[in-house]
Each structure stands twice: as structure tokens, then as C-alpha cells.
Structure 1
């Protein structure tokens, strides 16, 4: 049986062992018949609620393809990837997997994922996906995953808090100085209980936003950083100026309310993050969440296409699958069908496929997210290259150093030097 083959492979490193392996099928078989009995393994991360959605979607899929049996399993996010690494060592990955963007380059470069492009058309419909969305899952010229949902960098605003303070809502898309001035007015009105926002230089994505405004990405497709120490120094110095003025919520207070954010704890009137974080904010804020709105983050350079759509999650097919055509049909159903859209709603993010979205009944917050992503079309540029291997560790180091800057335990120059040193180690430069 397939699952027993894993036992002898546990001790090997998946990345090193598989770097030279074949990338899988060269394309669909001419003699594939969907009426031939086939069994597929489907793996995803999530909880019992998401598992229920998948079971309902699988039932709809098997109504359409009654001879294809789908066995699904799920784990929490960390355990999901631990198991995938063990399976990769024996080339025993599940046929179809829910996939995370941060792992896509590693698994693609190690030839663990099937190139889906040969299956476009007959097995995977692409009519509902625009060209920029299709490019999101491309690594080294191969389409190794397709997005289930999308999200974009956004500014969340708590209008319930603003109504109490008498300050007008942030209009969105101002200059950075304009945003700072707005935060200052909220903080003054908040009298030590509410602040205008969180230091925007705490997030790597905000730094990325300023780079993209000048035609750069964080990293190129070869994994080489596209920014200098001078650029990062300038960015973090901007945060130091805002913190010194007392405009943003103190870092010490943020640590006290963790794991909630300043915004989620109802102490800041604005915060920048990915737009699919709205559901989490709604859970944190309770009834006050009715006042949430989304608007565009500050502009570094007028006319720049600095924003982009990022996949909330993707679906991929293992290169080791014995049933690539049936796996492609399952991926198509899960990302494109109205039936799956009606089952999942926005549980996996705002649907990337227009045909999938057509089956979704949007709740008020999801509708706000859709309206926001529609409103920023003129600022949307091409997505950056798939994240480098180790991106998550780089992002976390950036956050840690930003926190130390907020606490005053490190200087900007020291933080920049430490960040570049850690980044070079992760990238093995």
C-alpha cells in the first residue's frame, strides 16, 4: 500500500534527497478515462469546520465523477508541513494538497510538484482566472500550484473608535506624511487610550510596498535581495521619527495585549495587514467589528503599481501522483466550481476564480474585501517572484528587530546590520 512506503525514508532530508528528481508527468495521457476507478489522497490544513467543508465539496465532486474516490486528511498548520517533509523524502506526497505560498519555491525547485500547465483547458479551466493570478504559482517557468483565494495589502480602519473621538475616517491612499498627520489627530483625541495606528515600519510588507513603488521587489527570481542597507535604514528611521512623537501605540503595550494586535484589541484606529485578516479582527472586536472598513494604504509615488494580489492558499498536485489527470480534475473543481464556492464561501479566502466566486454568498465583511480589491485595480501590479526558501524566517527576523527598535533596545544601524547578517545566513550567501 502507498502509505507504507514512507517508513524507510524518514531519516533523509527531503530538500537534499529530491533536488535532482524528475518533475513528474510530461502531460495528460491520451487514453485517460474518468470512468475508470481511481482513488486520490487529498491533504489540507485546518480544523473540523474546514474538514466539514471539504467533505461536502468532495461529495459534490463524486456526484460529477462517481468513479473517482477521494480520501481526505487534515492537520493543524505546523503538523501538516512536518508530515509533508517526511513524505517528500520517500516521494510519497498526497496526490492533491492545499498549499502555502511560503513553501512553494522549496517544493517546486526540488521537483516535488506537477507542472499543471499541460492540463489547462481539458482538465483545469482557466477562464475564471486572470493572467496575473495564473502567474502567482509559476516557479522556474512551471505552474506548480493554482491559487484558491487572493488577498492584498490593505489599511483596516475602526470607524467605531473614530466615531467616539470625532476624527474623520482615514481617506486612504494619502502620502505617508498624510497618514502620519491623520494618526496624530486620532492619538490626540484618544488621550492615552486610543492611538492612530501601529508603527507601519514594523512590517516587512510595508517596506516591500515602498520598494515596489520604485520598481523593485524584495527579492528577484534567483533569490537575490533587491534592496540595500541604505534603503532599509531610511525606512526604519521613518518609524523612529513617528515613535518619538508618540503618534503610534507603544511597543510595550502591544506586547502586553499579544496575541491580539493593537487594532484587534481596540486600541488603535488603523492597521495595515493582508485583507483576509478581517475575519480575525471581527472575532477579536465582537460587536465593534461592524464599524470596520478597508481602504488603500499610503502612496509612496503617485501612479505606482505597488500593490499586488497574493494567494491566501493554493492547490498543488504531487509529482509522484499515479493519477495526474484525475488530480487535475479535483484541483479544477476545488478552485473553479460554483458548487465548491457555495460550500466553502470565503473560508479559504476571497475566491481567486470568478466562476468559483459566482457560487459564494458573501457576508458583509467579505463584500467589503471584494469591494476593496476592486477599488485598487489601478494600483495592482504583477505579483513578485514566489517567496525565497526561508522567507518566513526572514520575515520573523524583521518583526523581532522592529520590536526591539520600538522598545529602544537597539539602534537603527544595529538593526540593519543584524537583519542583513541573518538574511545572508538564511539565503546562504
Structure 2
């Protein structure tokens, strides 16, 4: 049953201290393998963010769940993304989180470290089947050696190519992999052929994920498990300086990008390639007004051949409140939402390519989703373990990195000044 809730006014966001106090609601892990009695009548609250379309999908999923578990009543509610987290913060402060929650990666460390999420370890391979998950996928929801969430769907860093645009300028598509220098040379070739109307790409040094990829190739993390940066000022300076030649004319001028914002250079039809998460493809199709056969998905460059620099990131996760009164029933619901073919059929790729191959079997992939799935399969040998769960405040740092990259492109700041500003931001955000 759905209790449809909308955005509400006057919401006060709970402080980190309040969350820490609420953390005492956490329970002790079970000493023996837990089991669920299907004859027990249980009511669970399920919360997710989304819209009416996603709500209809959950309605179908819960109906399928109740065919198998008629004694579990699921009360589901949804909000828009910002309002969803505002309400979770208030509930966390009062120790009253929903039993099962759709969860976002950027909040996982905050809630896990405050003891607000159930340790799923005792339920894995037991109530929650892990047969359909890769080791990389299972590692995504681990904080401080404890699994507190499991991915619903995954995506990976990728390169999108506009094949129609490349045909127009007469340049072959980038083949994927290769070095960052190779990619920059290819960008320059496309730009030369484009004659001032088409560019090879935007300046890729403006994205923190590309910096992270280069760090991972050298065995480093962007941020470590103790929330310290895994790089030096010299590392960051060297990275941004790689864009000097691009900003001299090879990449889309930053001023031109400002004119078409919020579309990107790729989405605006100016650039023939773009590095981003592989679930952005549907948005590109809408921006460009093209069909899936107009786009290709290939692997990004690498700073070190044979490195495990790529990784799977969750499109979203499912987690269980540590204060739930029905952990076994909640785990049963999570298992169904993650592994059921019926749920796969209901959602398709609305929540990303399913992380569980068991659920994927129920999904009818559209042409673009098939390309993304084939891409993720092709990079299997390049996938490493997921990095530490994002530090609290990662979103702020990611945005600061983007803004500084923009200012470098506009010429309103230098690389040296940008490095100083970014490390100052790190000190402010991470203390």
C-alpha cells in the first residue's frame, strides 16, 4: 500500500551531533544465522525518492512480493530527492528511520558511522542471496569493514561518443583505453576537422572523477578511509596542467559552455566525446534528439596500462534501519527488491542496470541500456575494488573542483591558485 507524500515546508535539517546521538539505536549482530518465519504478520515502512512513475513501479514490485509473502504489509512512501533526505535527517535524530530505505551513496558513510544502519553481514548468503552479485558490487556498501547497504544498480566511468558528429567531420571514433595523451591528441584532431563548429571534447581536467582515475592507476585513492586526501598539492597541480594544451584551443571554449549551460558540451552537440558515468546516456539522447545508434560507449583513457583504475559505483542502494523491530522481514524485502526477476521486469533500468544478475534476467534492455551493459561487461578486467565510501561532504568538494576547473578555463584563476583554494576547501569541509 502506498501513502503518497509530497514535499513539505518548514523542515529543519538535523545536525551531525543529533545523528550521532541517534546512533545509539543500533542493534547487536545476530550470533547465529537469522531466519524469517513467513507465518509472522509484520508491517514494514519502505521509503524511496522518485516520482509517480517510480511509485507505480514499486507498486508492482510490492504486489509481486506480497504474492510470495502475504503476511508482510509494506507501507511505502516517496518524496523528491532533497525532501527525502531532509525527512531522513529528522527521523534519524529521533531514532525513527523507516525499516527499509532506498539509499544514496553520498550519505552512506554519515549514517553508517553513526550506527543508524543495520549490519547486513549476518543476512548475506542467508536471507539475502548474494549469488547474483560480483565481488566488486558487494564491496560497494562496506563502511569500516561492515556491510550496511547493497547496490540496486551499478554504473562505471565511461566515454560517450557522438558517432553522427564524427561522421560529419570525417574522423574515426576514439577506440577506448589508451593513454590520456592519446586522448588529448585525438581531441585536437577532431577539433581541427571541426573547423570551429565541432570540438573533440570539453576540458576533461574539470572533472574530479578523471583525477580519481589517474590516482587509482597509481594505487592511490582520492580520499582515504580516514577521510584524508590521498593526493598532494603537486599531484593536483600536475593533473590540472594536463589541460593547458586543451584550453589553448583544442577543447570547447569555456565561455561557449557557459552559454549552453545546463547542457554539457556533448549534450549541446558541440563536442564529439565526453567522460561521465555510463548512466547519463538517456539524458544525452534527450538533449541531442537522437536514437541510441547515434552514440557509442567506450572505455576512458588510463594512466597505466593494466591498472584497476575503473570501479562500479551504485546508482542507488538499499539499506535497513538499525532500529527496525523486524530485521529478518526487512532483509527478506531487501532480498526481493534486489534479486527478484519480477522486480527487474517492473523497473527495467529505471534504477540503473541491476547489480544482481538474477534480477537482470527479468529486464528487457532497451538499445542504449544494452550498450551500457555490454560496456560494463567489456571492462571487467579493468574493474578494481570500489574506493572507500565517499567522505562526508564529498558533494561539496566535487562541486568546488568543478567550479575551479571552470575558472581555470575562463582564465579567471591560475592552476596554482586553484590548488591552494581546493586544499583550503578540504580543510574546511573535512576539518
1: CA distance, partners of 2:100 / 2:152 = 13
Indicate the residue corresponding to 1:347 in structure 2: 350
Match for residue 256 of structure 1 among 246, 255, 259: 259
Aligned-residue offset at 1:183: 0.9
Distance 2:121 2:357 in 1: 19
Regions of 4+ moved over 4 Å: 9-12, 28-32
TM-score (norm 1): 0.95
Q: Is the 8 A contact 1:35 1:67 kept in 2?
A: yes
On the 8 A contact 1:14/1:88 being kept in 2, the answer is no
Tell me the alpha carbon deviations over residues 163-210 of structure 1, each in whole angstroms, 9 at most, x when there is no partner: 111111111112111111111111112121111001010000000000
Distance 1:11 1:169, change over 3 A: closer
User: For the residues of structure 2 that align with 1:178 and 1:58, how far apart are their CA atoms?
Assistant: 49
Q: 1:248 to 1:31 in 2, by over 3 A?
A: closer
Report the alpha carbon displacement of residue 97 of structure 1 after superposing the two structures with TM. Answer: 0.5
**Which residue does 1:206 correspond to in 2?**
210
Alignment match of 1:277 (pick from 260, 277, 280): 280
RMSD: 1.7
Aligned residues: 420
Q: Which runs of 5+ in 2 are unaligned?
A: 4-10
Question: TM-score scaled to structure 2, two decimals?
Answer: 0.94
Secondary structure in structure 1 of the residue aligned to 2:296: strand
Q: Does 1:68 align with 2:72?
A: yes
Match of 2:296 among 282, 293, 298: 293
1:81 partnered with 2:114:
no
1:291-321 alpha-carbon deviations (Å, 9 max, x no partner): 1010011121111111111111100001111
The equivalent of 1:6 in structure 2 is: none
Q: Does 1:189 align with 2:187?
A: no
Query: Could you give the per-residue CA deviations for residues 70-119 of structure 1, whole angstroms, max 9, x where no partner exists?
Result: 11111111111111101111011111000010100000001110011111
Shift in Å at residue 34 of structure 1? 2.0
Instruction: Answer yes or no: is the 8 Å Cα contact 2:150–2:318 preserved in 1.
Output: yes
* Change beyond 3 A, Cα 1:315–1:11: closer
2:227 aligned counterpart, secondary structure? coil
Q: In the alignment, what sits opposite 2:7?
A: none
What secondary structure is seen at the aligned counterpart in 2 of 1:148? strand
Give the secondary-structure state (helix, strand or coil) at the position aligned to 1:18. Answer: helix
Structure 1: distance between partners of 2:117 and 2:367? 37
**Deviation of 1:220 (Å):** 1.2
Task: Measure how far apart 1:121 and its partner are.
Answer: 2.7
Tell me how far 1:25 sits from its aligned partner: 4.5
Correspondence 1:74-113 to 2 at 5 A: 74-113=78-117
Distance 1:110 1:207, change over 3 A: same
